[in-house]
A and B are shown apart, each in its own frame.
Chain A
Amino acid sequence: MISVKKVNNRPLNLLERIYLWEIARGLSVTTRHFFTNLFAPKNLLTVQYPEQKIPLPGNANLRTRHRLKVRADGSPKCVACFMCQTACPAYCIRIEAAEYTENSVEKYPAVFDIDLSRCVVCGMCVEACPEDAIAMDTGELPGGALDRGELLMTKESLLRNLPGEPSRKGAANRLANEYLKSRGEE
């Protein structure tokens, strides 16, 4: 429902037209803020960002820095299908695909770079991933570096499982699992 606020547009009275008393009232407000904040800077809302971090409010906490999930044998769950790279509106993902030599059904990312300086933290890559391989649940906030190079995340820095998370065995891909089963390697 739209709330309506009635504004009282009455003509200014003499004291307000002289303006000086209103100036004094305005100054008292700003001066009060000045001295309150000068003697009690703890109350300031500013977060000194890279050094100081606060829990994000509400659903913003659902999307934090990316990670790539890892299988039990240490290989990435990612199959280099380029879905996330295609879905990314900020063009911050770069994938170079390669094939396993012993497993000609499945691909893996030889290069998986996310440029955090371009990432808009929209979560499209997570939505797009058919393998549930990329996730944004590390709880770390991206950004805040003194060097652009520090904001480039490579495959090595992305690959990790969260503590307590069981590594999935085998591939998520049905075809690959059938292939592995046919070779008795599951």
Chain B
Amino acid sequence: MMEFFEANKDILLFTGAAVVKMALFLGAVMGFTALMTLAERKVSALMQDRIGPNRASVFGFAFNGLFQPIADAIKMILKEDFVPGRAEKLLFTLAPFFALVPVLALFAVIPFGDYVMVYGYQLELQVADLPLGLFFVLALSGLAIYGVFLGGWASKNNFALLGALRGAAQMVSYEVVLGLTLVGLMMIYGSASLQDMVRAQGGLLFGFVPAWGVVYQPFAFILFLIASTAENKRTPFDLVEGESEIIGYFMEYSSMRFAAFMFAEFIEIVLISMLIATLFFGGWQVPYLYETGFMFPGGTELPLNHYLVSAMQVGSFAAKTIFFSWFSLVVRWTLPRFRFDQMMGLCWKALLPLALLNILITGAVMLALGKL
């Protein structure tokens, strides 16, 4: 037995570390997502001069509504799990999984920190450092269309099918823009691995500006922000669902199946916030913070403990994620919805040419600077 452990020490350590990282990271993401469902209602309430949910209580302690996600979950579980008589039972059941699984799998490639030394073992703070991480992200977010389309088609409801068609058209269109906006970044960093990209953003530009992606590619950042909101099917691009007027692809879903679609959307907000932080805002980088501590442009140095540096980097990543999640909520509760033709026009006539132009300009500048 011991010989087996000795012989396979490396692979066992790697597997154990991966499982621990997955459990911690996914647990944090899920917990944060549950709070996001509350935050959506609280943020919208505060923006509209209201208070928001504050009644769900455990033993009389409400904590201003902190238990609302638990109450929502219990309600969802206790609802009748209804399947329409003429629905395709298998696909109807599979659709929520197709919505949820690709989104969850994407967290594997997100680097949430640099590395920590644990008992002399270097623990990379990323579940899987794929060399083609960015393509993995695009491929799996393309898979999420299946959840939408299967859900609409398997319900055997014409309105749900129309909603699914709208959803598929929207997601496929914006997928193109989403991919093209990232080409510029890949050209600059010369890599598609997200961890490499974050490491490359650790430097300084002109000696004092953090070399974040948004500094190199401000235009791509705006395009990515718009395209990712559309990809996530949130206002102002929520014609797929249109909760107040239009009927969406999951109209025949109830109980936890519906909750899976809903939860997938909220997880996607977190995921997109993480992607924006990773690609454009330096991921876990803190400005002027290096492995050994702070090194300010003036020449001042502040050496710090390795664990403190790691904690600050993970905290910086969390703070950026929280900020962009909050921003996504604010956008959702500020803007009115586009018309469908306006949305498709925006994608094919505005965003797509602009994304291509961005690639052209990036290439031209890099050629002029002799970096190509």
Mark the stretch among A26-34, A53-61, A71-79, A107-115 that contacts chain B: A26-34
Residues 110-125 (chain A) with a chain B CB within 8 angstroms = none
Digitize A29-65: 1 where CB-to-B-CB distance is under 8 Å, 0 elsewhere.
Answer: 1110110011001001110100000000000000000
| B55 nearest CB neighbor, chain A only | A48
Q: Is the CB of A34 within 8 A of B51?
A: no
Which residue of chain B has the shortest Cβ distance to A46 in the bound complex?
Answer: B51
CA distance A45 to B50 in the complex (A): 7
Flag if A37 contacts B46 (CB, 8 Å).
yes
- The verdict on A33 contacting B47 (CB below 8 Å), with A26-B335, A27-B331 known, is yes
Shortest C-beta distance, B60 to chain A (Å), equals: 13
- By beta carbon, the residue of chain B nearest A38 is B46
Contact B331 A34 (CB under 8 A): no
Q: How far is the CB of A45 from chain B (nearest CB, A)?
A: 6
B46-A34 in contact (CB<8A): yes
Assuming A20-B222, A27-B330, is B46 touching A33 (CB within 8 A)?
yes
Is B48 interfacial (CB 8 A cutoff)? Answer: yes
A30 touches B50 (CB 8 A): no
A23 within 8 A of B: yes
CB B84 to nearest CB in A, in angstroms, measures 34
* Contact A45/B330 with A26-B335, A34-B43 known, Cβ cut-off 8 Å: no
Please name all residues of chain B whose beta carbon is closer than 8 Å to the beta carbon of A45 when the two chains form the complex: 49
Tell me the A122-165 residues at the B interface (CB within 8 Å).
none
CB distance from B42 to the nearest CB of A (A): 9
Cα of A34 to Cα of B50 in the assembled complex, Å: 10
Contacts across chains A and B counted by CB atoms under 8 Å:
36
CB-nearest residue of chain A to B54: A48
Contacts of B47 in A (CB 8 A): 30-31, 33-34, 37
Complex Cα distance A82/B49, Å? 46
Q: Please judge, given known A-B contacts A20-B222, A34-B43, whether A27 and B49 are in contact too, CB under 8 Å.
A: no
Complex-state Cα separation, A30 to B334, whole angstroms: 7
Say whether A33 contacts B49, CB under 8 Å. yes
- Complex Cα spacing A29 to B335, Å: 11
Query: Which listed residue, B49, B330, B331, B335, touches A44 by the CB 8 Å rule?
Result: B49
A121 and B241 CA atoms in complex are apart in Å by 40
For A41, give the chain B residue with the smallest CB separation. Answer: B51
Give every chain B residue within 8 A of A20 (Cβ-Cβ): 222
Q: Is the CB–CB distance between A34 and B335 below 8 Å?
A: no
Q: Does B32 contact A (CB under 8 A)?
A: no
Q: Interface residues, chain A, CB within 8 Å of chain B? A: 20, 23, 26-27, 29-31, 33-34, 37-38, 41, 44-46, 48
Residues of B within 8 A of A (CB): 43, 46-51, 222, 330-331, 333-335
A-B contacts besides A34-B46, A34-B47, 13 pairs, CB < 8 Å: A23-B335, A26-B335, A27-B331, A29-B334, A31-B47, A33-B46, A33-B49, A34-B330, A38-B46, A44-B50, A45-B49, A46-B50, A46-B51
Q: What are 19 residue pairs bridging A and B, where the CB atoms are less than 8 Å apart in the complex? A: A23-B331, A26-B335, A27-B330, A27-B334, A30-B330, A30-B333, A30-B334, A31-B330, A33-B46, A33-B48, A34-B46, A34-B47, A34-B330, A37-B46, A37-B47, A37-B49, A38-B46, A41-B51, A44-B50
Closest 6 CB pairs of A and B: A37-B46, A30-B334, A46-B51, A30-B47, A34-B47, A26-B334
